[in-house]
Structure formats: C-alpha cells, structure tokens
A and B are shown apart, each in its own frame.
Chain A
C-alpha cells in the first residue's frame, strides 16, 4: 500500500461520535437494500416471468411480471430516496476512500446516472406500453430496465471493492481493470443479485397468498405463489453456496479478522448463516404456500432479518478491509448533539406522518362522485 495516496481526514471533524454514523450508515443502507432488492431482483424476476409467459397478460406469470413492475413504480423511487442517506453517511465517515474510488472509476460511476434514468423510464414504458396496459408485449422495455439495474449493481460492487482497498488505487490510476479480476467481485455481485431475486420472489409469493386468502383470483394467485416460492427456494440454495464461497475468497487478513473478532463479528455472521439455513428449511417444507400463509409471512420476515444482519456483516468486512488504512488516522469529533436530536425527532415525526397518510388512504376508499 502507498499510504500517501490516502487523502487526509476532513479538517472539520465529525459532527458526532463515529459509532453513531456507523449505526446510521448500516441502518439506512439496510432500508435501501430492502427497496434495492425489489428494484434489481424484482425487475430480473419480472423479465423471467414475462419471458415464461410468452409476454401475455393472460398467463399467471405475465400477471406476476406486471405486478412486480407495479411495485417497482414505487420501489425504484424509494430505492433512490433511501439510497440518499447511506450515500450521505458514507461520504462522512469514509470520504477519503469513497471519493477516491469514485474518481478512479469516474466514467462508469457517472454513467450510473444515465443507466438509472434509462432503467427507470424503461420501467414506466413497460407499464404504459407493455403487457400491463395492453395485455401483451413490452418485453424489450423490461429487459432494458433489468439490464440497466444489473449494470448499476456491477458498478456499485466495483466501487465498494475499490474504496476498501487503497493498495490497488495506484494500479487502477495507471489504467488497470484489476477490480474485475478481484476474486470476490463475482461472488459478491451474485450475492446481491440472488438476494434481490429471492426477496422479490418471497414478496410476490406473500402478496399472492394474501390475495388468494381474500378470495381474489384464487387460481392465478395460487399459481403465482407456487412459482415465486420455487424461485425463492432455489435462489436461496444458491445464495447459501455463494455466501460460503464469498467467505472463502475474502483476503486472509479480513477472514482472520472476522474469525478472531469474537461475538462482535462472529455473532452476526453465525446468526446470518443459521437464519439462512432456517430459511431453506422453511422454503423447502411448503409445496403450496397458499395453504400456509403464516409460514409465508414468517419466511418473509426471516429473510428481511437476514438482510439486516448481513448488512452488519458487510459493514464489518469493509472495516476489516480498511483497518490498515484507518488505523493511521485519528478522527476528530466536534459533536452537534442538538442537531442529532432534531434529526431523530423529525425522522420519527416524518415516519409517523407517512404511516398516518397511508392509514388514511387505505381507510378512505371511494369511487364515482365521492372519489378524488
């Protein structure tokens, strides 16, 4: 490593203790991941369902595809919105590494904005010009959208690997593309893609089970739930395999750091693995999810919990990657506790307002002249 390539810490200091920003980074990144899984995995699953249906809305997989993309009209917006906060906090606590990585990958990092715009509008074009509006077609828009989101995932994985490894900055600046040959790159990417598809499949299954339980389109919803459930099962099988592979190809010091980190690192990792295996058991026990709505809800809740725990492990892996670099710097803290409290109050009030708004909307169905 060439230590002098690491920029200095910001002279202004941190406006709060580092642990607070680490907690906020992990928490908001988890929120982002929930919607990101729906955006990336949901769109990929929608493509698969669309292709399997022959692009027709009268096939249950066509219905599923339209349903996933209807969720994504919200999901993509919320992925961006929830992504703002982790982007803010990573710039605060990992500024030296994050900015350097994005500059070294500047064209593709900037290109992400174009990919995101194209992917988002393609999703809307599918909605307005494809099967959801016309009963068939729109597969091209869907594929374009999924491809854009997949490329964005690739860019994010690359930036994350580069920012965590200052020792490769010099060679990257000299024009090397060593990040793509990093042994963890593809398993890491696959880990996100599989999680996205698995989570979206479970959400789709959960939704279909609820609709079937209400007596709405029972045959279609049962078929959707079974199909999506199988996708959740097999992607989770692959995810467990890929997770172990990723663990094995981590750099030795990082792996050693996890294994010798005591409860702090081994706790979340072990819990995540155990819950992952538990997920597999729950998924494999059910042939027809409509028969076991409670188990379906429990499985979805478990997967959400696994995502939350894995967000912690991911953060710890980053910290271990960066430990040789961060150890050289002494962070200065200039706390602004009053502002933190104001933020926390506003966050609670904001979320309560959103909950109230959603409650009012759900409690106020109307039609005809009574409707807005």
Chain B
C-alpha cells in the first residue's frame, strides 16, 4: 500500500487478464505439447509411422513459435504487470517463495534449451538423440508446472502455512495434489486443441487415424480434468466452497461460473468425441476452432472460479489483493493510511483530494473511475435517485439494477416511500447530495467495521469471508478523518450536473 499507484483507465485487473489469459493457455499447451509430441515421436519411431512423425514435427514448429517466444515473453509480462499493479502483493509472494521460483527457473532453462534444440535438429541427428531431447523438454516443462502449481494453490488454500509460515506447509497445501491432477488434464486438453490444426494437414489416407489418435488423448484429458476438478472442489475448505456451492452461494456470479465451466468441459467432450473419434471426416478448421474454444472456455472458467473464490485475498486470510496485510489493519486504523504511505500523503490537505488519494491507494487495484469495475457506476447518482423517486417504470428498472444489491430487504415501493418526492427533490437538490452522502458513509463505515472483524478473526486459520458484509472486497482501513475524506471524494462522483439543472427546472 505504500507504493505509488499507476492509475490505469483500463483497470489493473483487466490488464492482468489481457496478459495472463493468453499466457496460461500457451503455457499449458507448452507443457501438454511436450508430452504429446514426445509420445507421438516415440510411437512414430517404434511403428515407423511417417504420419505421426509429421504431426510431431509440425507441432514442434508451433511449440517453438508460440511457446518459447510468446510464452516466455508473456510469462515475464505477468511479473511486469503484477509489479506495476500490485507491487506489495507480488513482493510478499516472492519473499515467501523465491526459492520455489528459483527452482522453477532451472526447469525453465532446461525446457527452453530443449525446445530450441528439438526444433532445430529434425533431420540432423539420430532418432534416439532427438527423442531424448523431446522427453527432456517435457520433464523441464512439467516440472515447471509442478512447482508453479504449488505457489498458485498456496494463494487460495495456504493451509498450515497460516500457522507455521513454513515453505513446504504452504507448498503442499490442501488443493496442491488435486490441482496438479486437474492441470495435468488441462495441459493435455490444450495440447490436443492446438495439435488438431497440424493434424488436419496429414495426408488424406491417414488423417482419420491421426485425428482419432488425438481424440483418445482428448478423452484422457477430459477424464483427468473432471476427476481433478471434483477432487479440487472436495479439497476446498468450506469457507471457500460456500462462496459458490450450496443452496444459497455467497457469490452467485461464481456459482454461474462453476456451472459454465462444467458445461464447457461437457461441450469439449462431445465435440472432441464427435469430430476426432466418431466421425473424423467432419473435422475441419472451423470444428477445430470450436473444439479449441470450448476447451479454452473450460480452462478459463476454472481459472476465473479459482481467482474469484480467492477474493478479496491475494494470499487467503493473510494478504488482501490491494497489498494490505490482515495483520496491519489495527495499526493503519489507528495511525491512518496516509501515515503508512508517503505516496498517499503527498499532495493537498483538502478533504476531497485526500479522499481521492485514499481511494487510489486502497481501491484502485480493483476499481477504475469509469472503466472496468467502475466506481462511478456503483455509486448512487442524482439521476438514479430522481428516477427511483419518480412513478414510472424506468424507476423500477433503476431500482432493480442499481439499488437492490445493497437494499435487498426493501421493495421498490418501500424505497419510494423512504425517498423524497420528485417535487421535493426539485425544490432542494442538496437533499439528494445529503442522501448520497449518508448512503456512501454507511457503506464505507461498514467496510471499516469489516476490517475490524478481519483483525479480530483468529489468526492461523482460514477466514470465512462469507460471513462478512461484502465477502469479495477488502475492508476499508484508515482513521476517521480518512474515512470522511473518502466519502467526500466519492460523493463528488455522484454529482450529475444535467440532472441538477433539470431538477431546478432548467435554470442554469
């Protein structure tokens, strides 16, 4: 929280998604491709099968151009972006797992060198030596996954690490093994999805065989993915599982994501079996794209579910996504966030300016002003209140979309009774300002109280966020003056000059 903040209109989360999503797809293909290509070449040599050899060879060109170039650059890109948008958080992770990353780097070197050698030595070295290179590539790539998976799963389910802070307690956390199985299935799915394209170029009389061969791989990938996913879910602590499972999940959108993820896997299975195993003659570029999209959708859905169920933490129950440590909440509440960060303290003492800096420091890792997760959009505006106070149907729609989330205990009619009438608003527009101020103050105060609840939660255990006011948001931390300043700033975002003019009868 004490770093300068890069204010990005796009939003840090969106930027990370742009870099990370292609990277994880390519990175998983790089691992699965290593396995499939090595096995395929081994079979080609044993069976003296030129069609399989050609599949391995063509796929290795894709592997080198996509994985070693784009995969490596985007992998570095994730670090670059993480350092820009969440420096405190990535620093905390690196301080805990630097040796894990260092070990992963060793396998990364093996992977890259083997990939380059493998691709450039077709037709130049003996079959045995070439196979050795291919298998070493796979070992390097898979071991990278095995290590990184420990760090990724640690972030969601740190397990005993919360108590002991011991490296291996965090690494072999409750979801480590299920996730390793799941990702093993995913790498096979990604590799199959990519390799269908070079397989389509196989000579006509062998195309069906080669596609069917990939179909069995796909089937294996689906089975492993499904088994891994169900095991992963079973290994999740209730505090996380309750966010998206059960009769009334705390985060309905995540429950939808779960459903989407499993349907995407089903679609992958159906399309894969149809175009690869049952009727390979139907396989075309378009159907291959369809298969790839459904496989990516499954993978993307799972990643979204994993990331979403970790909210609001970067390391569950330890570090929030905005870089705030659970352990530092009391001190910041006591001394203020401006005392914590020289960058937040830098500037004018005007309350609105202070509030803006508090917002940037605490909220901008998730919220932009008008872009992704726009803060302005979630705040009640003059025009929205005027619409709800009005008697027409538009008011009901505004109530449903903008108010119901916070006022779930009230109906539209109840709300209209509480609000001043449109005439009263027109007479005294500042009344709406006061209303907005009150609502925003109440919300921020609840977020502040939530921080106290976090601070009071037993240490060394997973915190059950489902019990909190907003299970997906970090708390507000800071002293009373900073809370007031944040509210003052947020209220300025609710002003809608055109509406005020209209309420005043068009008198500018």
List A residues at the B interface (Cβ < 8 Å). Answer: 2-8, 10-15, 24, 73-74, 77-78, 80-85, 87-89, 91-92, 95, 98-100, 102-104, 106, 109-110, 112-113, 116-117, 120-121, 124, 169-170, 173, 336, 339-340, 342-343, 346-347, 349-350, 353-354, 357-358, 360-361, 363-367, 370-372
Please state if B95 and A12 are interface contacts (CB–CB under 8 Å).
yes
Q: In the complex, which residues of chain A have a beta carbon less than 8 angstroms from the beta carbon of B101?
A: 88
Q: In the complex, which residues of chain B have a beta carbon less than 8 angstroms from the beta carbon of A10?
A: 88, 91-92, 95
Q: 10 smallest A-B Cβ distances: which pairs? A: A372-B130, A4-B342, A339-B99, A364-B129, A99-B87, A12-B95, A350-B106, A7-B2, A364-B126, A106-B6
Please state if A117 and B127 are interface contacts (CB–CB under 8 Å).
no
Please state if B73 and A113 are interface contacts (CB–CB under 8 Å).
yes
Please state if A336 and B167 are interface contacts (CB–CB under 8 Å).
yes
* Chain A proximity mask over B63-75: 1 for CB below 8 Å, otherwise 0: 0010011101111
B residues 135-190 with Cβ under 8 Å of A?
136, 167
Please state if A12 and B96 are interface contacts (CB–CB under 8 Å).
yes
Known: A12-B92, A15-B96, A365-B124. A113 touches B4 (CB 8 A): no
Please state if A367 and B123 are interface contacts (CB–CB under 8 Å).
yes
Please state if B4 and A100 are interface contacts (CB–CB under 8 Å).
yes
Please state if B6 and A112 are interface contacts (CB–CB under 8 Å).
no
Separation of A15 and B80 alpha carbons in the complex (Å): 22
Please state if A15 and B95 are interface contacts (CB–CB under 8 Å).
yes
Separation of A342 and B4 alpha carbons in the complex (Å): 36
Nearest chain B CB to A267 CB, angstrom units: 28
Interface membership of B484, Cβ < 8 A: no
Q: In the complex, which residues of chain A have a beta carbon less than 8 angstroms from the beta carbon of B110?
A: 350, 353-354
Q: In the complex, which residues of chain A have a beta carbon less than 8 angstroms from the beta carbon of B108?
A: 81, 84
Please state if B106 and A347 are interface contacts (CB–CB under 8 Å).
yes
Q: In the complex, which residues of chain B have a beta carbon less than 8 angstroms from the beta carbon of A8?
A: 2
Known: A336-B99, A361-B125. A121 touches B69 (CB 8 A): yes
Known: A10-B88, A357-B136. 5 other contacts (CB 8 A): A15-B98, A95-B87, A103-B4, A343-B103, A358-B113
Separation of A304 and B96 alpha carbons in the complex (Å): 34
Separation of A358 and B114 alpha carbons in the complex (Å): 9
Interface membership of B132, Cβ < 8 A: yes
Please state if B127 and A371 are interface contacts (CB–CB under 8 Å).
yes
Nearest chain A CB to B55 CB, angstrom units: 14
| In the complex, residue of chain A having the shortest beta-carbon distance to the beta carbon of B130 | A372
Please state if B343 and A5 are interface contacts (CB–CB under 8 Å).
yes
Separation of A346 and B65 alpha carbons in the complex (Å): 27
Separation of A349 and B140 alpha carbons in the complex (Å): 12
Nearest chain A CB to B127 CB, angstrom units: 5
Known: A339-B99, A366-B124. A77 touches B112 (CB 8 A): yes
Interface membership of B83, Cβ < 8 A: yes
Q: In the complex, which residues of chain B have a beta carbon less than 8 angstroms from the beta carbon of A78?
A: 112-113
Separation of A355 and B80 alpha carbons in the complex (Å): 31
Nearest chain A CB to B406 CB, angstrom units: 33
Q: In the complex, which residues of chain B have a beta carbon less than 8 angstroms from the beta carbon of A99?
A: 3, 83, 87, 91
Separation of A52 and B123 alpha carbons in the complex (Å): 34
| In the complex, residue of chain A having the shortest beta-carbon distance to the beta carbon of B113 | A354
B residues 312-362 with Cβ under 8 Å of A?
325, 327-328, 341-343, 345-346
Separation of A196 and B45 alpha carbons in the complex (Å): 43
Known: A80-B73, A88-B94. A102 touches B342 (CB 8 A): no
Please state if B132 and A95 are interface contacts (CB–CB under 8 Å).
no
Q: For A13, A14, A77, A169, which residue has the most chain B Cβ atoms within 10 angstroms?
A: A77
Chain B contact residue count (CB 8 A cutoff): 74
Q: In the complex, which residues of chain B have a beta carbon less than 8 angstroms from the beta carbon of A77?
A: 68-69, 72, 112, 116
Interface membership of B24, Cβ < 8 A: no
Please state if A364 and B345 are interface contacts (CB–CB under 8 Å).
no
Q: In the complex, how many residue pairs between chain A and chain B have their CB atoms under 8 Å apart?
A: 209
16 pairs, A vs B, C-beta closer than 8 Å? A3-B342, A8-B2, A10-B92, A10-B95, A11-B328, A15-B95, A77-B69, A81-B72, A88-B98, A103-B83, A104-B4, A346-B106, A347-B106, A357-B113, A357-B114, A360-B132
Separation of A87 and B90 alpha carbons in the complex (Å): 12
Interface membership of B41, Cβ < 8 A: yes
Please state if B90 and A339 are interface contacts (CB–CB under 8 Å).
no
Nearest chain B CB to A352 CB, angstrom units: 10
Nearest chain A CB to B150 CB, angstrom units: 12
Separation of A304 and B187 alpha carbons in the complex (Å): 40
| In the complex, residue of chain B having the shortest beta-carbon distance to the beta carbon of A31 | B109
Known: A7-B2, A104-B4, A113-B77. A358 touches B87 (CB 8 A): no
Please state if A100 and B3 are interface contacts (CB–CB under 8 Å).
yes
Interface membership of B216, Cβ < 8 A: no
Interface membership of B236, Cβ < 8 A: no
Q: In the complex, which residues of chain A have a beta carbon less than 8 angstroms from the beta carbon of B341?
A: 7
Interface membership of B440, Cβ < 8 A: no
Separation of A15 and B102 alpha carbons in the complex (Å): 12
Please state if A343 and B106 are interface contacts (CB–CB under 8 Å).
yes
Separation of A357 and B123 alpha carbons in the complex (Å): 17
Separation of A340 and B80 alpha carbons in the complex (Å): 25
Interface membership of B43, Cβ < 8 A: no
| In the complex, residue of chain B having the shortest beta-carbon distance to the beta carbon of A78 | B112
Q: In the complex, which residues of chain B have a beta carbon less than 8 angstroms from the beta carbon of A85?
A: 102, 105
Separation of A336 and B100 alpha carbons in the complex (Å): 11
Nearest chain B CB to A160 CB, angstrom units: 15
Separation of A6 and B73 alpha carbons in the complex (Å): 29
Q: In the complex, which residues of chain B have a beta carbon less than 8 angstroms from the beta carbon of A7?
A: 2-3, 87-88, 341-342
Q: In the complex, which residues of chain B have a beta carbon less than 8 angstroms from the beta carbon of A24?
A: 102
Nearest chain B CB to A314 CB, angstrom units: 21
| In the complex, residue of chain A having the shortest beta-carbon distance to the beta carbon of B56 | A372
Q: In the complex, which residues of chain A have a beta carbon less than 8 angstroms from the beta carbon of B106?
A: 343, 346-347, 349-350
Please state if B4 and A92 are interface contacts (CB–CB under 8 Å).
no
Separation of A336 and B99 alpha carbons in the complex (Å): 8
B residues 423-480 with Cβ under 8 Å of A?
none
Q: In the complex, which residues of chain B have a beta carbon less than 8 angstroms from the beta carbon of A84?
A: 75-76, 105, 108
Partner of B83, one of A83, A91, A124, A367: A91
Nearest chain A CB to B349 CB, angstrom units: 16
Q: In the complex, which residues of chain B have a beta carbon less than 8 angstroms from the beta carbon of A365?
A: 124-126
| In the complex, residue of chain B having the shortest beta-carbon distance to the beta carbon of A106 | B6
Nearest chain A CB to B104 CB, angstrom units: 9
Separation of A92 and B103 alpha carbons in the complex (Å): 15
Separation of A13 and B165 alpha carbons in the complex (Å): 12
Please state if A361 and B117 are interface contacts (CB–CB under 8 Å).
yes
Q: In the complex, which residues of chain A have a beta carbon less than 8 angstroms from the beta carbon of B107?
A: 346, 350
Please state if A110 and B132 are interface contacts (CB–CB under 8 Å).
no
Separation of A358 and B6 alpha carbons in the complex (Å): 45
Please state if A4 and B345 are interface contacts (CB–CB under 8 Å).
yes
Nearest chain A CB to B105 CB, angstrom units: 5
Separation of A358 and B110 alpha carbons in the complex (Å): 11
| In the complex, residue of chain A having the shortest beta-carbon distance to the beta carbon of B7 | A106
Known: A106-B84, A353-B136, A370-B126. A340 touches B6 (CB 8 A): no
Separation of A77 and B102 alpha carbons in the complex (Å): 18
| In the complex, residue of chain A having the shortest beta-carbon distance to the beta carbon of B6 | A106
